[in-house]
Amino acid sequence: MASSALSRTTSLHRHFNPANPSSKGEKIVKISGEVSEALSRGEAVVALESTIISHGMPYPQNLETAKEVEEIVRQNGAIPATIAILDGVPCIGLSAEELEKLAILGRKARKTARRDIAHVVATRGNGATTVSATMFFASMVGIPIFVTGGIGGVHRHGESTLDISSDLTELGRTPVTVVSAGVKSILDISRTLEYLETQGVCVAAYKTDEFPAFFTATSGCKAPSRVDSPEDCARLIDSNMNLKLGTGILIAVPIPNEHSASGNIIESAIQKALNEAREQNVSGSAETPFLLARVNELTGGASLASNIALVKNNARIGAQIAVSLARLRE
C-alpha cells in the first residue's frame, strides 16, 4: 500500500507538479479536495466529461443525469471527478454549484476539444471538455479511468472530409482507459475501428465479441479484443501501464438489452438528421451536437432515454473497473 501510494504520487508529480505553477504563479488546474485525497491514497477515481452535459443532453435532464452518474460511481466504491474549464480554470472534480452552472450554461459553454483548451483558458472562458480534452486532464493528474456515453469517431464520408474526431488521436497518445457504449451510427463505425488500429489503441468489447453501436448492442463489426469482467479490464489496464505503451484503451460496453432502442427507428432518424446537416451546411465541431439533438427530437425522446440508461450502466462498470485496478496496484 505504502509503495503504491508513493508511486502514484510520483507519477502524479511527473505529469503535474502543483509546486510548478504557471508563469504568473497561478495553479494550472484546480483539483477538488476529495479527488486529490483519493488520488494521493491510491484509491479509485473515475473521470467524467462535460460536453455530454452541455451539448449532449437538454436541461434539466443533463443536470439530473450528471448527478445520478456521480452517485452511481460513489455507490460502486469510486470517487467521481467531472472535468470542465470554469472561468478559465481547468477543474478536476466539480462542486454541486459548479455542476449546476455548467448544466444551465448548456451550449453557451464552449465545446472544448484538445485544440481548444489553451484558448478557453487564455480567454478565461467556460469550456465543456470532450473526450479528448477530458483524457488530457485525467492523464495530467493521474486518473487512469474515464467514463462517458459515446466517443467521437470517423464521420461518414470522413475519407473525403477528413472529419475524424480528435478523440481517436487522443486515444493514440494518452494512456487513459475510456469506458463507452461504442460509437453511434451517425459515424462510420468500421472506419473508426480501422483508425483506432492505426493509432495503436487497444479496443476491447465487454462481455461480447461485437463492437457496440451506442443505441444498439450490435454494429456488424467484430471487436478486436474481448473482456468479461472488471478484473479482466483491470489486468488489461495494469499491463498497459506496466509496459508504458503510452496509448489509451477503449472498453466498449453494449447498452443493456432492456434499454436498447429499436435499430430501425434510430437508423431512419439518423439518416434524416444527416441529410439535414448536409442541407444546412452543418460541419466540423457543430456536427455531432446537431446530430445528437436532431436524432433525439426525431425519436420523440426515445434516444435520450437510451442515452441516459447507457451512461449510467457505463458509470457502474467503470467504477467497478477503477476499484479493481486500485486493488491490483495496491
- Using CB under 6 A, list all residues that contact ligand PSU: 49, 51-52, 56, 113, 130-131, 149-152, 165-167, 184, 214, 285, 288, 292
Pick one of ligand PSU, Mn ion, none as the site partner of residue 144 (Cβ within 5 to 8 A by kind).
none
Shortest Cβ 69–ligand PSU spacing (Å): 13
* CA 326/CA 21 separation, integer angstroms: 29
Shortest Cβ 211–Mn ion spacing (Å): 20
CB-count burial class (<10 Å; 0-12, 13-18, 19+) for 162: exposed
Part of the chain binding Mn ion (CB under 5 A), chosen from 159-167, 191-199, 272-280, 293-301 = 159-167
Q: Where are the beta strands (DSSP E) in 25-114?
A: 30-31, 45-48, 79-86, 89-92, 110-112
Query: Dihedral (C-alpha) 204, 210, 212, 215: value to the nearest 10 degrees?
Result: -160
Part of the chain binding Mn ion (CB under 5 A), chosen from 161-169, 224-232, 244-252, 310-318 = 161-169
Pick one of ligand PSU, Mn ion, none as the site partner of residue 56 (Cβ within 5 to 8 A by kind).
ligand PSU
Is 222 tagged catalytic? no
**Beta-bridge partners for 127:** 85, 110
> What type of residue is 196?
L
Q: Which of 49, 70, 170, 287 is catalytic?
A: 49
* CA 252/CA 150 separation, integer angstroms: 9
* Residue located via cell numbers 452543418: 282
Q: Which of 111, 184, 287, 312 is catalytic?
A: 184
Shortest Cβ 283–Mn ion spacing (Å): 8
Is 97 tagged catalytic? no
Question: Which of 70, 163, 188, 232: binder of Mn ion (CB under 5 A)?
Answer: 163
Pick one of ligand PSU, Mn ion, none as the site partner of residue 65 (Cβ within 5 to 8 A by kind).
none
Give me the DSSP letters along 214-261.
TTBS--S-B-SEEE-SHHHHHHHHHHHHHTT----EEEEPPPPGGGPP
Kindly tell me which of 104 and 328 has the beta carbon lying closer to ligand PSU.
Answer: 104
Shortest Cβ 34–ligand PSU spacing (Å): 24
Kindly tell me which of 52 and 85 has the beta carbon lying closer to ligand PSU.
Answer: 52
Buried b (16+ CB within 10 A) or exposed e, 46-84: bbbbbbbbbbbbeeebbbebbbebbebbeebebbbbbbb
* Residue located via cell numbers 472535468: 83
Q: By CB under 5 A, how many residues form the interface with Mn ion? A: 1
Pick one of Mn ion, ligand PSU, none as the site partner of residue 325 (Cβ within 5 to 8 A by kind).
none
- The 107-146 site mask, x for binding Mn ion (CB under 5 A), equals ----------------------------------------
**Beta-bridge partners for 252:** 180, 205
**CB–CB of 32/95 below 8 Å?**
yes
N-terminal to C-terminal alpha carbon distance within the chain:
5
Kindly tell me which of 163 and 170 has the beta carbon lying closer to Mn ion.
Answer: 163
Shortest Cβ 66–ligand PSU spacing (Å): 12
> Which positions are catalytic?
49, 184
